[in-house]
A and B are shown apart, each in its own frame.
Chain A
Amino acid sequence: MNQWSTLFQKELIEMWRNFKWVWVPITFILLGVSEPVSSYYLPQIIDSLGGLPEGTVIEIPPPTASEVLIQGLSQYTTIGVLIIVLSTMAIIAGERKSGVAAMILVKPVSYFSFITAKWAGGFLLLWVSLLIGSIATWYYTGILFDWIPIDLFFQSYLLYGLWLTVVLTLTVFFSASLLTPGIAGFTSLAVVFVFTLVTGPLSNWLEWSPSQLTNYANELLLSSAIPDDTLPASLLTLACIIILLWLSVFIFRKKELAS
């Protein structure tokens, strides 16, 4: 445990030194907040671009608060995923390439603590950034549109966080099992993309799929009732995370012993 916390602290210090603790939360804030702000100012933006032609009658209904919040949060499943993958793809593959991993692993450090400490660092960064970003989005939605009950917001925050944790764990897995950061990042993005793509049209059958979690979070915000399949989907997601993490330790150990 002592060893693990040392590795974990090393991870946190490293993330502080390369400013991940600054730029990831700020990016998440800007991503989320841009949605309520731009929908609030949409009429002014249209006017300043020359306005609609004389006589056109296009009523743009003002979006409801939950719609705006959903739009803001859904930025995290697109650009947010991209940022998570790009910023964690080198987490293990990069250290192997530069030789830092070898330097740490000649000491009596278990592979398990090496990988899980790295994963925990990324996990903490992700949840803190998502919390700051989504609270900012929620706050801006509140002052510009309408306040959404904070318990609803927190429930959907948890669901979004769970799905993004799957993305993070997948990236750690590929980073441990593939040799180069670039390939690891690309593969994780491709897998996440295919996963969401397959789940979309088959949502009636794949009710427990982890990528459904964000849809459930949106439904929750719209109807303020938790959809039925949320619990099994979350449990399956937790299982996926644990299995992926275990697999990455397993594969990493095999690869390191082979090389």
Chain B
Amino acid sequence: MDVLVNNLPILAPIFIIQLILIIVAIIDLIRIETTNGPKWLWVLIILFINILGPILYFVIGRKRY
């Protein structure tokens, strides 16, 4: 626990921006009409694949027009 508290100032910003990325991806997923592949699958990918999940969603998951 001590280690965690000491390193919090270093690691906290990283966790926060990761969280922002996940939230933005989820908001976009809710608002978008259709995605490439089933929507529920993208929810799982965004939530459970660290960092890479939301990025993958933005790059290949969004259907253009």
- Interface positions of A (Cβ within 8 A of B): 18-20, 22-23, 26-27, 29-30, 33, 37, 44, 83, 86-87, 90, 94, 98, 100, 140, 143-144, 181
Contact = CB atoms under 8 A, between A and B. Distances in A.
5 contacts: A23-B25, A23-B58, A33-B14, A37-B14, A143-B10
Interface of B: 3, 10-11, 14, 17-18, 20-21, 24-25, 28, 51, 54-55, 58-60, 62, 64-65
Given A30-B14, A37-B14, A23 B24 contact: yes
B20 A22 contact: yes
Contacts of A86: 59-60
Contact of A87 (B18, B25, B51, B59): B59
Contacts, number: 48
Contacts of A143: 10
A94 B64 contact: yes
A26 B64 contact: no
B59 A26 contact: no
Given A83-B55, A90-B64, A98-B64, A26 B20 contact: yes
| Residue picked from A23, A37, A44, most chain B C-beta under 10 Å | A23
Given A22-B20, A26-B21, A30-B17, A98 B58 contact: no
A15 B51 CA distance: 21
Nearest to B28: A19
